[in-house]
Structure 1
Amino acid sequence: MDTLKHGYEEKNYMSYMKFERSLNRYGWIIYVLLILADIYVRRQIANQSLDNKHIILQCAFALLYIIISYIKLSKGNLIYQKPRIVTIIKIFEIVTAVCLISTLYNSIMYYFVALLPITIVSLSRGFKGSIVYLMLGWATQNLSQHLYLRFIGGGPDYSHQFPCFYLVIISIHYLLFTVFCFIWGDIFNEYIKSEEENKTLIDRLGDKFIQLEQAQKEIQSHYDKLIKTNNILEETNNKLTTSVAEFFTLQQISQAITSIFDMNELLKFVNDVIIGVMGVYHSTIALCSGPNNKLKVQVSSIFDKKDLAIVSDYINCDIITQSSLEGHSMIDNNVNTSEYPFTKGRNIQSLICVPFFSKGRPLGVVLIEHSIKDAFDDENMRLLEVIAQQVSIAIENARLYQQMHDLATHDALTGAYNRLYFNDKIIEEFNNALDRGHDLSFIILDIDFFKKFNDTYGHLFGDLVLKTISKYIMKTLRKEDMFARYGGEEFVILMPYTSLEQAAEKAEEIREGVSKLIVSDRVISASVTISIGVSSYPETSGRPQELVSMADDALYKAKESGRNRVCISKPKSEN
């Protein structure tokens, strides 16, 4: 019973706090009205002149009460967590209220008002919780009333006819209120006792219910075992059938992985196998790209361009992105278009999403869809996961191959193509220009006074200059243009389908843009210029070697002419 009582008291303490807030919010109005009423009585009924000391004293007590109320309201969350502080504030509150009542003209009519704060205590915490406050109120009321009449006066003093008049009246008030608190406390205890009996009865009923539930579980358990045995036999048969199909599917994919080296062809083949094996409405494969691993559709069985565009735009919705990044599969047999916006307008009712994952890194997802509800089960998802594991290995191998290819063909510092790759590419592009009859222009550029940067600021800042210029130039070029580091601070640009005049305009645009760059490493800031030479087939050159040599001669001329300029090689007709 003590435990229940403690729990109930804790609950009532929270109720007590609510009552306290309400009293603090509106209690000060009562005391302000009492002061106004007292002024009226003294002035109009008792025909007394207003005494400043009465008003000052009453306002002081009222102000003190308001301050206490404000503290409790504004700092309530901190104060109410510490019962001792609540008790001290309650004592100040009662003393303030009692003293204010004692200053009223007809104070014996308002003794009950001072008991309002104690009422909340008795209602929410029982008789024992209010005894201390009752004794405090009684003692303070007697003392404050006596001191007021003796030293200040200004009201009817009945103690001349009966010396113990106020003591008796106050005692009667508090005795009646004590009886009331006692009755309420008795009801409080009876309520706790009733709660204990109810709890005991509920516990007994709970025990009976548990016994019945256990008996029911035993019966259900025997029945479940029979069902389970039957299901195991059915599962075994299904697994044998599925295993044969899985083995055939995985064999096909393994052969494709070892024989198909082009990533797009491999993904198309796998997508076709998934559609055939799973019997799905649509299958889509999307791979992660960029620093944020955003999904990009690579292969899909969706032929409608509008529908495919919707899938591409919304494939990075929250659910699919979470599946991709966290590496967990998901199945939904009751698709809601608000959760899967990429299904809008396609009547998709069921889907499975399985991620491609390798070495803890997301690679992409395979997404299969069906127009029928409840079209998929866990076995479908498991088979798709096995396929995804094989494909993940193939994707990772393809990316490693691409990385090795990039290392072999790109300059590690600037990200531009290297000279070896350029030497092969210029012959390839020149042959294309010969066969198809289009122009091929060549630009060579050199950073002015680059040695000065290295000598003055160090090689690290020189490297920063190379990277900054390379990054800028690569942003300005077309997709079909080729940018390569030719050696040291020299770079070349190969521009198919570009005349000499167009190449010269592009070269001037690059030169002007580079001259406006500010290279900075947060300690050193510097500007840089470049000199450029331009040649073109068939206007100035008839062979790949001539493209390079003619542009190089023009570059030399640009440097001899004062640097930071573009020079064009002479047409063959002028040579």
Structure 2
Amino acid sequence: MTFSNKSILTSLLVVGALVLALVLYPVEAGFGFQLLRGLVLVGVLVVILLITYSRYQERPRENQEESAASIQLEEKAFLNELKSHFKELIDSVFRAVKAIHPDYVTGIYMIDPDQKGFTLQEATRPLFRKFVSGHNDILNSILNTEDVLLLQESDLREKWNLIFEPQTWRGSECLMGVRILYKQTPIGCILTTIDHFSKIDSRDRELLKNMGEFFSLGMSKIEKIEQLLSDNYYHSRIASLFDVLEITSNEKDLFEMVLRMCRSFFSYDKLTIATLDPYENNLLIRSVDGVDSDIQVGKTVPLDHSMAGLILQESKTVLTANRSQEFPGMTRFGKEIPEEDEFQVLLGIPITGRKRNLGLIMMERKGHRPFSLSDRHLMELMGATIGSILNWIDEYQRMKRSSIHDGLTGLLNHNALMDRFHEEIERAVRFNHRLVTIVLDLDKFKRLNDTYGHLFGDQVLKAVSMIMKNNVRNIDVVARYGGEEFVIILVNTTVETSLPVAQRIITKISEYPFEKDGESIRVTISAGMAEFPRHSDQVRSLIEKADQAMYQSKAKGGNQVTIFQEEKPAAVGTK
């Protein structure tokens, strides 16, 4: 029972006793009777006041309980949102690893200070232990190494078994590990293992390092979301950029969203978003809103002696209500852009990236009404958020490029080729087009490697790849299928129409001036062609039939191309 309820009960008992005394009082006149009447009235008044106060006290408690429940719901939604971003980050890494090599098994560990060890967040297969002691030498070595650590089971044995679930090991298994950083401090690691060291490509370590940086950047993104969502409405709107934009989004989508958001946040006569070209020291105009007579999207402007240059080169926010007076002799966007003297009120902020400024946002007004400090704070928050997203997109694109391209030649790798081939088949079916598959294989390449060395062999592969790329259209596909074998997909054509393309590539390779230690070396290549859907409507079958035709070319001495035929391939080429 609360204090107020006890007081009400006591008061009722006292008032009841007074009423009883009043009824039994012998004389209804005199001072004693009047005193009793007065006490009864006072008692009734006290009871009424106590009941009213008690009810008043209960209402805030009910409101408080409702408010607490609302806060708990908001916190739960907030935590779910952060968990969703963390899960998306892990899934992105797992997809990238699968694209590099389908046999890789990947797990992600994070430091668990409460358990004094490492807790497994997720894994692509149940190969890793759920928890590893904080004293584990392998994981600690990874945390203390900037580069990717490569280890083999046969060299570790007992330490290896402390990370993986019990099973039989052959000794050929390998493990690659890279650390995850948060605010430059190691907080976990990505582990990737495969059953035999021979399956690890030389570029895979660099790709895994990219993934470590990608995940670290993603952790910064989650921190940014947490900071923004915990603030007011405007901050939450800016944070929503992370949610609406997918990791695969492009910069144009981002700038369009920022432009729409600025329209709802700010009052301006002109808004300009530009990105920096660090190599040319120029700005590329990406979006313009409002007055656009002086500068258009797509134009490149220099940074020298301009407000834009000041913002970027000194990495500072500029807020002024009288530009000409505060910054005499300085243009807005360089001397090539016509000056608009009526734009005297200006707010410009750098878009800040991880290691450098990436661009700027500039708002301008006519007249003399200045931008506020609140405008400045919100715009700086916008710039930091956009920079984080641009880093995020760039890191993903860099990782994607590395995972789908051959490290030596820059062509699409085997896995990327198969994905692209299926896409082209689907497109050809949809538009009733034909496709041509060309399989090419360098003649006597092993002898070249054995005679002149692998470095010379690499030079040949690079040069041959360049010749192929330069002799097909942008819509066509060129890939390194494996070793010295290549595949070209020619879109919307037939074998008869595209035969000159294959012959031109073969001729240019045979005429290329390869040289080693002053010795001229002639390199040739053989090719086979098959057509979709004439010869097959399946990817594997098309490659196999083009491959058969290619071996027919080799059987006839090489340096030629053969069109696949069901019975007898017909060879055409140059000797």
Q: TM-score, normalised on structure 2?
A: 0.50
Q: Which has the larger radius of gyration?
A: 1
Q: TM-score, normalised on structure 1?
A: 0.50
Compare the two structures and name the one with the higher strand fraction: 2
Compare the two structures and name the one with the higher helix fraction: 1
